[in-house]
Amino acid sequence: MIQRCKGCFFLFVLSVTLAALAVGGNSAAAGGKSDTEVKVSVEGSKIDAGGKQEITVFLEINKGWHIYSNPVGSDELAGAQTEVKITAKTKLRDVKIDYPRGQVVEDKILGKYAVYHGKVTIKATVQRAEGDTGPLEVSVRFQACNDRGSCLFPATVRKTVP
């Protein structure tokens, strides 16, 4: 006679799901975050007499991986494009971010879009309020995908510029 166990069906479904994730190779489903494949560092220049400061964001993307450029050039991928935001405790007068041009990819399913590989430098110019010399917070949001078509969960990396 076969006995029924409470919770056995749940355990069966859970084990099948975990096995499918392990075999499927989809890193996002396995819980990977994009910041494991992309190193972010930030530098800031001295604030000039007019309150202007240059911020440089350096991205180092591991070999075999890419992130989506800004602009990405595809409506379907617009939410995954790399985005830099700069904030301060006091309101900044102006922030201008200069994203480099990405490498164009032609995909049979998604069409044309642009990505960043290797080392990427993003420049920003910040116009501070008069007398503001406080730290800036730089946040960089991106999504990393590998050359085999698997993508990691998006990540937001925050850095402080003194």
pTM: 0.80
We report the CATH number of the domain holding residue 86 as 2.60.40.1250
How confident is the model over 86-119, as pLDDT tens digits?
999 999 999 999 999 999 999 888 899 999 999 9
Answer whether residue 145 is part of any domain: yes
Answer whether residue 39 is part of any domain: yes
Q: Report whether 38 contacts 155 (CB < 8 A).
A: yes
Answer whether residue 1 is part of any domain: no
Answer whether residue 127 is part of any domain: yes
Answer whether residue 3 is part of any domain: no
Side chain identity at 32, as an amino acid letter? G
**Residues found in the chain:** 162
Answer whether residue 153 is part of any domain: yes
**Residues 77, 80: Cα–Cα separation, whole Å:** 5
Q: What are φ and ψ of residue 77, in 5° steps?
A: -105, 5
Give CA separation, 39 vs 36, 96, 101, 102, in Å: 8, 23, 19, 18
* Cα R_g (the chain), whole angstroms: 21
Answer whether residue 114 is part of any domain: yes
Q: Find tokens 């406080």 and name the residue.
A: 134
Answer whether residue 10 is part of any domain: no
Domain range for 67 is 27-161
Give the count of domains, the chain: 1
Of residues 58, 55, 53, 54, the one with CA closest to residue 38: 58
How confident is the model over 42-81, as pLDDT tens digits?
999 999 999 999 999 999 999 999 999 999 999 999 999 9
- Model pLDDT, residue 110: 86
